[in-house]
Structure 1
Amino acid sequence: MDVRADNQPYDDINITPMLDLAYVLLVTFIILTTASVQGVKVNSPATTAQNNLAKPQTRAITVTADGALYLDAYPVTLDELRNRLADYKAANPALPVVLKGDTAAQYDVVVQVLDIAKRLDIAEIGLVTTRAK
């Protein structure tokens, strides 16, 4: 048992180093979990345009090669997409949306998604592409 200079035993524990470690672990966990982007893997078309689409509360709509729709990695129908986007738009009037379409996606489905966005007055919509090499 450690004894102080005045021969009194310690009756408290210094928890500062333990809190420092907890904060470091918390920050590391936050960085690692937000670094991964959720979504459905598609083969995006190539473009030379620069895009910066990182915005808070951005919703991702994905159209796969077979015409399936996903909203934030969850499969939806056109009606479900319209209803969910209307709910998100009611909560955030400046709702940003990105549209990820496979190069072999059905053009009609992409146009229907853009039509839904237009009817809901979603002005901030971006198209996800890959950079041409």
Structure 2
Amino acid sequence: MSFGAFNHHRNPGPMADINVTPMVDVMLVLLVIFILSAPMFTSAVQLELPKAQAQSAPAQPAATVTLSIDGKGKIFWNNDPVEQSALEARLIDAAKLEPQPELQLRADKDTRYEVVAQVMAAAQANGLSKLGFVTDPKEKK
């Protein structure tokens, strides 16, 4: 009972496999088209918000402490020069206040990053969590 599997003289029949390569190519082209056109379909909703007049809630002005560092690395607490040991004592006292004051760190552009990092680490180690950097706005030309 031979099915002709070992017969090399016989012509093979047509290939019955599905070739998916053209379909993949078309899908990739469609994917690229959708990726490029998707931002065009998203638009912000234009709203005219109603106008209301209400008094703002009275906010307690939080105390701020300005820590300034000049180009030579000298530290100033609210424009008063302070040494590193006295700075840590002041940071501890400020951390005990309720609400905690916000530290505004003003550093000269020539200040070494090491000094800024040490001041930030001292503030964090002593329990102060509100720290902001003060910069000058860009000059308009």
The TM-score by the shorter chain falls in which range? 0.5 to 0.7
CA shift, 1:92, in A, is: 2.7
What is the TM-score when the length of structure 2 is the normalising length? Answer: 0.52
Which of 65, 68, 71 in structure 2 is aligned with 1:59? Answer: 65
User: Who is 2:138 aligned against?
Assistant: 132
Which protein is richer in strand relative to its size? 1
- Which has the larger Rg? 2
- Identify if the C-alpha distance between structure 1 residues 84 and 119 changes in structure 2 by more than 3 Å, giving closer, same or farther: same
Q: Distance in 2 between matches of 1:97 and 1:105?
A: 18
- For these two proteins, the number of residue pairs brought into alignment is 79
Taking only the aligned residue pairs, the percentage that are identical comes to: 25
CA shift, 1:93, in A, is: 4.7
What is the TM-score when the length of structure 1 is the normalising length? Answer: 0.55
* Higher RCO structure (Cα 8 Å, ≥6 apart): 1
Which of 113, 117, 121 in structure 2 is aligned with 1:111? Answer: 117
Cα deviation, 1:9-46, whole Å, max 9, x if unaligned, reads xxxxxxxxxxxxxxxxxxxxxxxxxxxxxxxxxxxxxx
Tell me the amino acid that sits aligned with residue 96 of structure 1: E
Cα deviation, 1:68-104, whole Å, max 9, x if unaligned, reads 0000111111111110111121123522110000000
User: Who is 1:73 aligned against?
Assistant: 79
- Identify if the C-alpha distance between structure 1 residues 93 and 120 changes in structure 2 by more than 3 Å, giving closer, same or farther: farther
Tell me the amino acid that sits aligned with residue 64 of structure 2: T
| 2:92 paired with 1:86 | yes
Structure 1: which 4+ aligned runs deviate by more than 4 Å?
none
Q: Distance in 2 between matches of 1:71 and 1:102?
A: 15
Gaps spanning 5+ residues in structure 1: where? 1-54
Gaps spanning 5+ residues in structure 2: where? 1-60
Asked whether the 8 Å contact 2:91–2:128 carries over to 1, the reply is: no
Asked whether the 8 Å contact 2:70–2:108 carries over to 1, the reply is: yes
CA RMSD, 1 decimal: 1.3
